[in-house]
Structure 1
Amino acid sequence: MKKPCIVIACIAVLFGCNLRQQPAGDVNIERIIQADEEPENWMSLGRNFMQHHHSPLSQINKDNIKSLGFAWQYETNSNRGKVNRGLEATPIVVDGVLYTSGAWSQVYAVNAKTGKEIWRYDPGVDGNYARRTCCDVINRGIQVWQGKVFIGTLDGYLIALDAATGKELWKQDTFVDREAFYTITGPPQIAKGKVVIGNAGADFGVRGYITAYDLETGDFAWRFFTVPADSTHKQADEAMKIAVPTWDANSLWQAGGGGTVWGELAYDPHLNLLYVGTGNGSPYPLWIRSPSGGENLFLSSILAIDPDDGRLVWYYQTSPGESWDHTSTANIVLADLSINGKTRKVLMQAPKNGFFYVIDRVTGKLISAEKYVPVNWADSVDTRTGKPSISNQAWYKDSPRYIFPGPVGGHSWQPMSYNPNTGLVYIPTHDIPFVYSELPGYQFAPRNINSGVITNAVPLPEHLKIYAEGWPAHEGDVLKAWDPVKQKEVWRVHLPSRFNGGVLSTSGDLVFQGTSSGYLNIYKADTGEKLNEIYTGTGMLAAPVTYTVDGEQYVAVMAGFGGSFLPIPNGATALNKYKNTGRIIAFKLGGGETPLPLPQDRVTKVPAPPDAVLEESQIRRGEDLYNQFCARCHTTMGEEHLSEIPDLSLLPKHLHDDFINIVLHGKLSFYGMAGFSDVLSQEDANAIHQFIISMQKHRYERQNTGNEIR
């Protein structure tokens, strides 16, 4: 009876129908190392341990890309209430199953061929943590390993799920201080039998660190702090002995220092080194954070850490004395490059500060660093010392300064891709300068933004335009192909929209990038010629992936605009036409038309404001409080903006009636509108309400006289 089964199985294999049943999520180090032998899968955030964000698949190629069309979609339905949040994760595909994460740290497993849901997991994140985020309630990815799916949740838990069922296996609290405004938005990384997770929150005044846990049990393994806790040598580890002398003993220690780790980490199993990019200082200005100066290690640095024990092996700091939000949390790419006739094991990063770094990943020695976007905070980087020559333009202590790049960075978290065939790195860049000025009278304020600066993006207010005189015009977003050996640009594509998506390259001689305006663009990898564009109607920030099922190649991307740009007016986004419906969209050759989301149904008529007695002094006080506590999410009322966050000058009567319960007591905290009773009194809330009513009254009167424009 057994022989016929064997024959049938053999015939099935010959005809390409693989009946071998792999355990769900069966990823291990051998499969990751040999990822090119399984091009049908995408088993880590960057596909292989080198984190190239490149696929050797070529069924979809430059010759047939015009026939790429819609295959399937999966709506994530991860929103709470009517606010549609951003989707930023790079999916992982293992043996025909696509795993990924969405808003509020939800996790999805779907059939990679059909998009049919296998399971979904909702960790039930505390909605109050939305207040603790700089950049929306997003999540940038999961890891799949040995039958488990690992997710770091916004409210600080590292959770292991069963890859087959989504059942929770273990859960660990990763936060050292639950009163501090920590969050997790970045993905975990697997290294030597451990799962490592960082955190976000530097803008709110926290001390960065990463923590490692046992893959099987979730037991704590080790923790590495990225900055000192104070000026003493109470810290026993060698890393802090290196860092402490680079800080003023009288530093603003209560502000935490910053240095949070919220980007993609990389692991080299051959060298057994974990590469970690660290974040900005808290507050930004060095002269406030560390009054007598200093390099302030390990802010804005790349660290090589031994995952066995958390020991620092080497470090390289990209922005000594970090004062510009120039994080080094952009994705790290590993490669073996031929440089001056010698093969070098390198890592490459294009951090926010505008220099493209090629570093020996064995020793940490700088090989080269050149400007990949316009830069004026530094003139160059000395390859002998590894240090930048910081210009006078960088320091805004005494007067505002027009600085390239701004806090958005020359390149932020959206993954760049390295194509070993062309030898090019494809970088989603930003050419967006800012005017920086010190926040007058800054004092550390727990549970609030603690940047210590005012930043104004272009186009500048009239009174700040004087600071931009004499400097070149900015270009906005540009997709660039960069030669990392010659350190020069090969081609560029200017994008009319802002804050666009991460990049995928393939051996089909293709480069894929989604845009905030709702297009999936496909370019020729060697020249940048646009070969196709597919309109989805949904803005994209995430990087696409590609894989095959049953011999057919697919390209999939998470579509959903948001992140730090969720509340920012941006007329170039797809939000002006369609609802920001979060979904995974997959494409294949011979596919159909991509279904568009439902049309927007935004409120265009200003409701009648409450009949309240308004006092000018209260309105002015309320405006100050609004700008301090509310405007970060709710933007400027009355402007023509496309934010998913409600415009408070359009509040209906029932929300005005419940204003105090909402603002102070968190009645809507489940939806992300946390209560502020810890920092606002009832008198404060009343003053804010007066300001909002005054704005609504003004708009209502203009509307009724025919002057309101939206």
Structure 2
Amino acid sequence: MNDKKRAFLATVLTVFAFVTLIAGCGSSEPGPGDPGWIDSERLLNADNELENWMSLGRDFQQQHYSPADLINTDNVHDLGLAWEYDARTPRGRVNRGLEAIPIVVDGIMYTSGAWSIVYALDARTGEEVWTYDPQVDGSFARAECCDIVNRGVQVWKGRVYVATFDGYLVALDARSGLVLWRVDTLTDRTRGYSITGAPQIAGNIVVIGNSGADFGVRGYITAYDLTTGAEEWRFFMVPGDPDNGYEHPEMEMAAETWDPDSDWESGGGGTAWGQFAYDPHLNLLYIGTGNSTPYPIWFRSPSGGDNLFLASVLAINPDTGALVWYYQTTPGEIWDYTVTQNLVLADLEIDGSSRQVLMVAPKNGFLYVLDRETGELLTADNFVRVTWATHIDLDSGRPVLTEQGNYEDEPKWVFPWDIGAHSWQQMSYSPDTELVYIPATDAGMLYTSYDEYSFKPGEWNVGIYYLADSLKSDLLIARDPVTQEEIWSVKLSGVGNGGVLSTGGNLVFQGNANGNFVAHRADTGEILHQIPTGTGIMAAPITYVIDGEQYVAVMAGFGGALLDYFVEENAAATYENYGRILAFKLNGTDVPLPPKRIIPPITEPPVRSTTVESIEDGGQLYGKYCAVCHGGIGGERMSLFPSLIRMASNTHGLFNQILLEGLYEPNGMANWSDILTAEDAGAIHDYLVSEQESAWRAQENLN
């Protein structure tokens, strides 16, 4: 046999062996010692495995804290880059945000990115082990309020669970990334549902919720068998039309808090898209629910009512799907004050007794501490400026409302704004300092109600105008959850700063929208070290130890609700905003900065035969359907979506194909032919050509 034949045979045998291995991985059941093997015993003993980060919040308490202290206040100034992985958006021109929290087990990092892609990486080097692309349906980009993001996976007993933006829950083999099962979680694919949140393991089930309340959907969570993907139960967050009956007893109870003649067609909202928690000792699954559809209760439930279970924390028995207790933070919710922020479990001493508590800092500006066994409210106070309520009555558990919060008859400036005093970016609790660390925003908004409202399929169905918001100030706040005393706060630059990690090294880590990765002293807030990355960071960091060396890692990439509206201080205004996974260690190197952002010049637009009426009509249509992403009427703003007054000649030629035929739908620019006619598209095009003509002439005159 000659050398060429030997080489060919060796190649064939190698490929055959690899395919056989992968096939075996896909067909045999994983067991202890296999990649991705996390079980209850390991998770309950997470403090004994500092080399791992085994849940979104590290352990079952979801505190976003690690006892690891090899990196500490004495040496954190030596922290630098260990490795970087390129996780840029694979589809279209828009680099989407990265919001996931990685999971690390036995040297492998599992995480997710834009378009629900899953990555398995070597946690020491960042080398790729495998990736999984679920090929999300691009038409679902129409159903995103806040970017095509994914907030993480769960890893359990050799499987990686991920929910896709277009509504599927998928179980992957942790060894290979091969699909083990895939189920459709959506009850109605004609509505504006999507999924951006991570699943939650609770006993023998995996649970997933959904997003889409701003478009008019009815929120729910669904539980599936971990091994087979078979549906076990479903829990709706708000009732449907009582004339159609109730899916489970809790809906009959909830319906009593709604007007019988509510606007059932709008769905009601209440979607659960945040970070859940599960207490294996109490066998309770904790869910935070979302905002209303539409926001104004005078359209949604005209006679008023608490409108359960909007803006609530629910404790559910995962074996049966039955409600054990609930606490509603914002009865009759009208401000988009979701409770989809991360839920943190801890044991605190309150009034001389040890209490098992759940802590949450929702959008509404109050930090709540609840008994997680009973739902009893223990403490609550505002952590930023709040004008919709004066305080929380600890006896009734209800907010004491102000007239300033009621915008039914006239516009009102209300604090916090709709993005919230605390959005989805994770807060942390350190049992060392006994403080919570909240990434907060002090901002208000002019809430202005529609005069009339009716549900419109495929459109935003919030019932308010977005006319103005106040100056915004992001803060990192350290607060005692028992006394509700603020211990320290640090003002941050930019808007949309990242989630938080606290560690046993007396450190708090946070990535910022301005592209810095920052280490604070946990007890005082003093900034000890800043690492410029050139990439805005929204996600919370994690930490893990390999062979005696501690790493701190974070998903970097700006986006989310501010993808289309950010400020000059944000790194995305200066640098290309592509996704990266960054891992740091002591004595690491500098982080390479991305290339500078280049804004293309405005070119001379094509000549079109237009009328004043067509341009005016097009401007109104553009403002209603396009400006939310592409920029405001009469100019531009900081947006990572393409500016349509900078269209090239070939884009003008394809305008109707893009808008009405879905030419760019795979890239996230969906088809609008269900709402817009050819005449509408022509009017929008006339308006954009007129705007581009004016902007081009101004540019040429300036030059």
Q: TM-score normalised to the size of structure 1?
A: 0.93
Superposed displacement of residue 77, structure 1: 3.3
Superposed displacement of residue 638, structure 1: 6.3
Aligned to 1:563: 560
Residue from 489, 493, 504 that aligns with 2:490 = 493
Superposed displacement of residue 518, structure 1: 0.2
SS at match of 1:542: coil
Aligned to 2:87: 76
Residue from 534, 537, 540 that aligns with 1:537 = 534
Residue from 181, 188, 191 that aligns with 1:170 = 181
Superposed displacement of residue 198, structure 1: 0.3
Superposed displacement of residue 233, structure 1: 7.4
Residue from 303, 313, 334 that aligns with 1:302 = 313
Task: Give 1:49-88 correspondences, 5 Å limit.
Answer: 49-88=60-99
Residue from 669, 673, 684 that aligns with 1:677 = 673
Counterpart Cα distance in 2 of 1:163 and 1:142:
11
Counterpart Cα distance in 2 of 1:685 and 1:206:
27
Asked whether 1:246 is paired with 2:257, we answer yes
Q: 1:303 to 1:372 in 2, by over 3 A?
A: same
Q: Which amino acid aligns with 1:669?
A: E
Residue from 283, 286, 290 that aligns with 2:294 = 283
Counterpart Cα distance in 1 of 2:386 and 2:596:
40
SS at match of 1:288: helix
Superposed displacement of residue 256, structure 1: 0.2
Provide structure 1 residue ranges, at least 5 long, that are not aligned to the other structure: 1-19, 460-473
Superposed displacement of residue 21, structure 1: 9.3
Residue from 172, 175, 186 that aligns with 1:161 = 172
When structure 1 is superposed on structure 2, of 148-157 and 567-576 the one drifting more is 567-576
Q: Which amino acid aligns with 1:628?
A: K
Q: TM-score normalised to the size of structure 2?
A: 0.94
Aligned to 2:586: 589
Listed one character per residue, the Cα deviations across residues 638-688 of structure 1 (whole Å, up to 9, x for unaligned) are 645332200000000111111001001110001100010001111111111
Are 2:32 and 2:157, in contact at CA under 8 Å, matched by a contact in 1? no
Asked whether 1:117 is paired with 2:125, we answer no
Aligned to 2:608: 612
Task: Give 1:198-209 correspondences, 5 Å limit.
Answer: 198-209=209-220
Counterpart Cα distance in 2 of 1:333 and 1:456:
35
Listed one character per residue, the Cα deviations across residues 552-588 of structure 1 (whole Å, up to 9, x for unaligned) are 1000000000011101041111122211121100000
Aligned to 1:655: 651
Residue from 387, 390, 404 that aligns with 1:379 = 390
SS at match of 2:702: coil
Are 2:89 and 2:578, in contact at CA under 8 Å, matched by a contact in 1? no
Q: Which amino acid aligns with 2:163?
A: G
Are 2:495 and 2:566, in contact at CA under 8 Å, matched by a contact in 1? no
Counterpart Cα distance in 2 of 1:250 and 1:634:
38
Asked whether 1:642 is paired with 2:642, we answer no
Aligned to 2:457: 446
Superposed displacement of residue 421, structure 1: 0.5
Counterpart Cα distance in 2 of 1:140 and 1:498:
19
Counterpart Cα distance in 2 of 1:555 and 1:639:
41
Provide structure 2 residue ranges, at least 5 long, that are not aligned to the other structure: 1-30
Are 2:622 and 2:633, in contact at CA under 8 Å, matched by a contact in 1? no
Listed one character per residue, the Cα deviations across residues 342-376 of structure 1 (whole Å, up to 9, x for unaligned) are 00011000000011000010111111110111101
SS at match of 1:212: strand
SS at match of 1:523: strand
Q: Which amino acid aligns with 1:292?
A: S
Listed one character per residue, the Cα deviations across residues 429-481 of structure 1 (whole Å, up to 9, x for unaligned) are 0101000000233221111100100134434xxxxxxxxxxxxxx66100000
Q: Which amino acid aligns with 2:540?
A: A
Q: Which amino acid aligns with 2:598?
A: D
CA RMSD of aligned residues (A): 1.3
Residue from 355, 358, 362 that aligns with 1:347 = 358
SS at match of 1:32: helix
Task: Give 1:253-268 correspondences, 5 Å limit.
Answer: 253-268=264-279
Q: Which amino acid aligns with 2:700?
A: N
SS at match of 2:252: helix
Asked whether 1:419 is paired with 2:430, we answer yes
Asked whether 1:572 is paired with 2:569, we answer yes
Q: Which amino acid aligns with 1:482?
A: R
How many residues were matched structurally?
Answer: 673
Superposed displacement of residue 385, structure 1: 0.9
SS at match of 1:61: coil
Task: Give 1:423-502 correspondences, 5 Å limit.
Answer: 423-459=434-470, 476-502=473-499
Counterpart Cα distance in 1 of 2:308 and 2:359:
20
Aligned to 1:196: 207
Counterpart Cα distance in 1 of 2:637 and 2:260:
45
Listed one character per residue, the Cα deviations across residues 616-658 of structure 1 (whole Å, up to 9, x for unaligned) are 1111111111111111111226645332200000000111111
Aligned to 1:97: 108
Aligned to 1:702: 698
SS at match of 1:698: helix
Counterpart Cα distance in 2 of 1:516 and 1:193:
38
Are 2:629 and 2:639, in contact at CA under 8 Å, matched by a contact in 1? no
Aligned to 1:633: 629
Counterpart Cα distance in 2 of 1:81 and 1:380:
46
Superposed displacement of residue 600, structure 1: 1.6
When structure 1 is superposed on structure 2, of 59-68 and 449-458 the one drifting more is 449-458
Are 1:637 and 1:648, in contact at CA under 8 Å, matched by a contact in 2? no
Counterpart Cα distance in 1 of 2:466 and 2:327:
27
SS at match of 1:705: helix
Counterpart Cα distance in 1 of 2:304 and 2:650:
52
Counterpart Cα distance in 2 of 1:151 and 1:87:
15
SS at match of 1:59: coil
Superposed displacement of residue 230, structure 1: 1.2
Are 2:208 and 2:223, in contact at CA under 8 Å, matched by a contact in 1? yes
